[in-house]
Amino acid sequence: MPEPTPPPTEPDVTVMPPAEAYDFDYFRCRVDVGLLSRSIAVRVFRIPLLAVPVGGSRRGGWFGAGDLAVALAVRQVLAALNGFPCARITWQRIPSCSYAVEWGDRPPTTWLDDNERLAFYGLTRPDLDPGRSRASAVSSGSSNTARPYSCGPH
């Protein structure tokens, strides 16, 4: 007779300092310094990724989760913290089908352009020319487009 399968365990979710997140450098040049200092690294299993709170021009954020158990655990952690209001689980079809924990305002179902998407998530384009301000880099429509999400939180 086969041995019974043990019940699934809760995902191991740990809150860490923001600089511990793998994607910290990505956000360091794209998010307001005040928000970055209030961010947290959320480690699921062994990979810490940044969760940036709402505030200022940042209206919402999200953290990708491969399965529902992870999404539930991440939502529980974020819901208890300031800066992550209305934490909820959604189903994402892009970039791949998976769950996401969203917080703040609900994003539009479609974006007018990349600048609208960046503005909603409070992101700026990285400043490749130290002589230019971040605002001018966004308004000029430079081609160094930042994506607010790849496969991680935000």
Computed over every residue of the chain, the mean pLDDT equals 82
pLDDT digits (tens, 9 = 90+) for 64-113: 998 999 999 999 999 999 999 999 999 987 767 799 999 999 999 899 99
Of residues 133 and 88, more confidence is placed in 88
Q: What residue type is assigned to position 102 of the chain?
A: E
Alpha helices in 43-107 (DSSP H): 68-79
Q: What is the pLDDT of residue 55?
A: 96
User: Quick check: bond before 18 cis, omega within 30?
Assistant: no
104 in helix, strand or coil?
strand
29 and 138 Cβ atoms separated by less than 8 Å = no
**Does the pLDDT of residue 137 top 80, yes or no?**
no
For the entire predicted model, the pTM comes to: 0.76
CA distances for 44 relative to 91, 97, 116, angstroms? 18, 18, 30
Percent of the residues in the chain that have a pLDDT greater than 90, as a whole number: 65
| Maximum average pLDDT range among 2-6, 95-99, 117-121 | 117-121
Let me know if 129 is exposed, middle or buried by CB neighbors in 10 A (0-12, 13-18, 19+): exposed
Q: What is the pLDDT of residue 154?
A: 57
Q: What is the pLDDT of residue 8?
A: 61
Least confident of 4-8, 71-75, 80-84, 148-152: 148-152
**Does the pLDDT of residue 32 top 70, yes or no?**
yes
Number of helices (H) and strands (E), helices first, in the chain?
5, 6
Q: Please, which pLDDT band fits residue 56 given cuts at 50, 70 and 90?
A: very high
